[in-house]
Amino acid sequence: MPLSDDQGVAVKVLDQELSGLDALAAQVGSARSTPARVWSAIWPKVAAIVLGLSIWQAIVWSGWKPEYALPPPGPVFRALWQGLLDGSILNGASLTLRRAVVGYSIALVVGIVIGLAVARVKVLRIAFGSLITGIQTMPSIAWFPLAILLFQLSESAILFVVVIGAAPAIANGMIAGADNVPPLLLRAGRMLDAKGFTLWRYVILPASLPTFVSGMKQGWAFAWRSLLAGELLVIIKGTPSLGVQLQVARDFADAPALLAVMIVILVVGILADAFVFGALERSVRRRFGLTDSAI
Amino acid sequence: MTLSESELAARPTESSRLGGTVRVRDVSKVFGQRGDTTVALNRISLDVPSGAFVALVGASGCGKSTLLNLIAGLEKPTLGDVTLNGRCALIFQEAALFPWMTVAQNVSLALKLRGVPRRERAGIVAELLETVHLQDFAGHQPHELSGGMRQRVAIARAFAQEAEVLLMDEPFGALDAMTRDLLHDELERLWLDRGFTCVFVTHNVREAVRLADRVEVLTSRPGTIAETFEVPFARPRRIEDPEVAALAGVITTRLRQEVRSHATE
Ligand SMILES: Nc1ncnc2c1ncn2[C@@H]1O[C@H](COP(=O)(O)OP(=O)(O)OP(=O)(O)O)[C@@H](O)[C@H]1O
Ligand SMILES: [Mg+2]
């Protein structure tokens, strides 16, 4: 339809008014510089570490326990440095991390398959829904006797417990995510003619991502705990994993080495949480617009 | 400022354009199980011819959303028939965009699910976003936009569905007055341009008169049509036009009378 002059002008005015409003309404990115952001993220952490070390030192000085049982930070960090130099810590950490990655990957596959099946099939939901939550509440250490019966003192026994510790949390994340898709989005999907598999592929699965990632994160926490418990319980000869090093340090009453390994375990856990799962969670939340832009 | 005669004649009311039709016959809708039921609609009938713009007004809870859901096929009527000729799209009060996708991807998904080949999609998306004046926001996420902009994306997505019937459920209810005025102009322009059929639900009687050819007043629950008002005024209109205000006054009086009759029962 050809526009009359009047109409052409009217459309142009409308266009201008709309883009004026749009420009006012659209969010502008935060203007804070990167160094300032990094600094404000780092200094509280540094302060917390300094505070923790001071309290530790103060307890040692108070003479609550003899120094051979609770050494001060100095010798512990020397032991840590020693372990880093002779490679024993890196060896142990890489062995333990390899197990964590293998076990967690299996748990991820198992959790996703079970989660999808239970979320999609009503009968399975009724049959296994509460069972999955039940297994999740069971302390994973209770599985070890059975695991040792099944797999003897082997890596498989450890991995078995890691998988059984992590998979239910991952499956639950998947199920809860699929259950909590906003009805409005489901209706929008149906209005676009998405049904069955298409609805899952384009609406339900992506919409459930934030909840699923929370489940993944929780699953990792379970996996990491089960793994360390397993390395302490299931001692395999000739494998200097972090758990074994912990055990050996205790056997030789080598308190600085023991605490040094504990620090490594703590740091690995924090790094995995912050840089893998925390980052994943943040990027998903940002993508979905779930973050408060002020943070 | 009015449209000339020839332009009105050129208005695409013929079947060549995107005008679907809606026919609702004696439809009732009952929610709930026996014992605890709500009759949302009671033997309602409604005809929307091709290219028409019909507004539905009525008190809260009288079944307007239910009627749109029935027309859209999201719900089944308990009794009666709903016939929809042509593809339809439903626009909700809150734009139901997928938050994990950009504006362009949201529009593109509608094309994809309609089977439009990949290489054609980008061009169509760009064109549609230009139609709603959002070409500069293709790469934004929905949460980065204002409510009015999101509704325009929803409208663009409806066009991507090639909707011949546009069902709108209080689409501008959550917007500020100035944005709403602009979107009225925008919607009217698009409607004049494209000739789709529109069923528009609103609480706002002025908005109904501003936009529609015909305003249907619904009774309170269970909903049925109480009275029909034709809106004969020339387009484009403005919400502050005196004749719009006058007719809105008449309809509001009728609506209040309807609500009052319920109170005395
Ligand atoms: N899924 C449902 N189950 C039970 N009752 C429902 C359902 N949907 C709607 N109703 C009831 O049907 C009646 C009509 O609801 P509807 O949402 O269609 O009203 P409405 O006219 O759109 O109201 P509003 O103007 O507030 O949006 C209401 O009493 C509501 O409680
Ligand atoms: Mg409603």
Q: Which residues of A touch B (CB under 8 A)?
A: 1, 4, 6-7, 10-11, 14-15, 17-19, 21-22, 25-27, 184-185, 187-188, 190-194, 198, 202-203, 206-207, 209, 287-289
Q: Which domains does chain B have, with CATH numbers?
A: 21-86+165-172+201-265 (3.40.50.300)
Nearest CA in chain B to A187: B74
- Give the pLDDT confidence of A68-127 residue by residue, as tens digits: 999 999 999 999 999 999 999 999 999 999 999 999 999 999 999 999 999 999 899 888
Round to whole Å and give the CA distance between A134 and B83: 49
- Look at residue B1 in the predicted model and tell me its pLDDT: 42
Burial class for A63, CB neighbours closer than 10 Å (0-12, 13-18, 19+): exposed
pLDDT tops 50 at residue B14: no
Q: Which two tokens stand for residue A288?
A: 């979905």
* SS3 assignment, position B81: strand
- Give the pLDDT confidence of A169-187 residue by residue, as tens digits: 999 999 999 999 999 999 9
Q: Please, are residues B133 and A19 in contact by the beta-carbon 8 Å criterion?
A: yes
Residue ranges covered by each domain of chain A:
84-287
Residues of B in contact with A203 (CB under 8 A): 98
- Look at residue A41 in the predicted model and tell me its pLDDT: 83
* Sequence-separated (6 or more) residues with CB below 8 Å from residue A97: A268
Nearest CA in chain B to A21: B179
From B27, B64, B70, B92, mutation site for ligand 1 pocket: most ligand atoms within 8 A of C-beta: B64
Q: Is B110 on the interface with A (CB under 8 A)?
A: yes
- Give the pLDDT confidence of A246-263 residue by residue, as tens digits: 999 999 999 999 999 999
CB contact under 8 A, B189 and A11: yes
- Give the pLDDT confidence of B191-214 residue by residue, as tens digits: 998 899 999 999 899 999 999 999
Q: How far is the CA of B236 from the centre of ligand 1 (A)?
A: 33
pLDDT band at B7 (very low <50, low <70, confident <90, very high): very low
Sheet (strand B38-48) strand order: B38-48, B21-31, B79-85
Reported CATH class of domain A84-287? mainly alpha
pLDDT tops 90 at residue B99: yes
Q: Please, are residues A204 and A181 in contact by the beta-carbon 8 Å criterion?
A: yes
Q: Which two tokens stand for residue A209?
A: 């991502």
- Give the pLDDT confidence of B105-129 residue by residue, as tens digits: 999 999 999 999 999 999 999 999 9
**Percentage above 70 pLDDT, chain B:** 92
Q: Closest Cα to residue B137, out of B156, B111, B109, B163? A: B156
- Look at residue A246 in the predicted model and tell me its pLDDT: 93
Å from B100 to nearest chain A CA? 5
Pick the residue whose CA is nearest to atom 26 on ligand 1. Answer: B60
Tell me the mean pLDDT in the region A24-38.
Answer: 71
- Within 10 Å of residue A183's Cβ, how many Cβ atoms? 9
Strand B21-31 and strand B38-48: the pairing is antiparallel
**Beta carbon of B195 within 6 Å of any ligand 1 atom:** no
pLDDT tops 80 at residue A30: no
Round to whole Å and give the CA distance between A256 and A245: 12
Round to whole Å and give the CA distance between B44 and B39: 12
Strand B79-85 and strand B21-31: the pairing is antiparallel
- Within 10 Å of residue B101's Cβ, how many Cβ atoms? 17
Atom from ligand 1 closest to the CA of residue B29: 12
- Look at residue B264 in the predicted model and tell me its pLDDT: 62
pLDDT band at A292 (very low <50, low <70, confident <90, very high): low
Task: Name which of A19, A21, A213, A284 to mutate to probe chain B: the one with the most chain B Cβ atoms within 10 A of its Cβ.
Answer: A21
- Give the pLDDT confidence of B147-177 residue by residue, as tens digits: 889 999 999 999 899 899 999 999 998 888 8
pLDDT tops 70 at residue B38: yes
Cα B143 to chain center, whole Å? 23
- Give the pLDDT confidence of A185-239 residue by residue, as tens digits: 999 999 998 989 999 999 999 999 999 999 999 999 999 999 999 999 988 888 8
Looking at chain A, which runs of residues are DSSP E strands?
none
Cα A8 to chain center, whole Å? 56
ipTM score of complex? 0.84
Round to whole Å and give the CA distance between A138 and A166: 11
Round to whole Å and give the CA distance between B192 and A44: 60
- Give the pLDDT confidence of A52-74 residue by residue, as tens digits: 999 999 999 999 999 899 999 99
- Look at residue A28 in the predicted model and tell me its pLDDT: 56
Preceding omega of A35 cis (within 30 degrees of 0) = no
| Chain length of chain A | 295
> What string of DSSP letters covers A53-117?
HHHHHHHHHTTSS-TTTS--HHHHHHHHHHHHHSSHHHHHHHHHHHHHHHHHHHHHHHHHHHHHH
Q: Is B113 on the interface with A (CB under 8 A)?
A: yes
What type of residue is A227? L
pLDDT band at A17 (very low <50, low <70, confident <90, very high): confident
Atom from ligand 1 closest to the CA of residue B170: 27
- Look at residue B157 in the predicted model and tell me its pLDDT: 94
Residue B41 CA: which ligand is closest? 1
Atom from ligand 1 closest to the CA of residue B41: 14
Place of tokens 């074994």: A244
* Sequence-separated (6 or more) residues with CB below 8 Å from residue A44: none
